[in-house]
Amino acid sequence: MNADDGYDRLAALIGQHRGVAIFRRFSNLGAKDLLYRQAELVHLEAQLQKVVCEDRTSKDPDKEAYQYSVFDLLDSASKPDKSHQWQKVLETRKKLEEYCEFAELTV
């Protein structure tokens, strides 16, 4: 087999003549993955809402303050027993960033 056969030869041809490049977009698979990502975000959103509600009604003055003070919420990161809401925010943020980036490429 020659090094100029198969994918190497095809890649060289496409590299020289971009107009001949035909690539499958996997549209159905991309759409399905986007739907899965949406479902993950819906689940995380519900979890975050639950944690917010629990903190708001906890009778813990620190946790009750989170709904009014981003400073207090951020500060909770240094208190492992009080940082559940902030950790859920960070988890949701990461998934949302991934979703937005993927959605931009897929649509």
Q: What is the CA radius of gyration of the chain?
A: 23
Q: What average pLDDT does the segment 10-34 reach?
A: 91
Average pLDDT over residues 27-32: 92
What is the residue-averaged pLDDT of the chain? 93
* Confidence check: pLDDT of 105 > 80: no
**Could you report the per-residue pLDDT of 34-71, keeping only the tens digit for each?**
999 999 999 999 999 999 999 999 999 999 999 999 99
- Segment 15-28 shows an average pLDDT of 90
pLDDT bin (cut points 50, 70, 90) of residue 25 is confident
d(CA 71, CA 97): 22
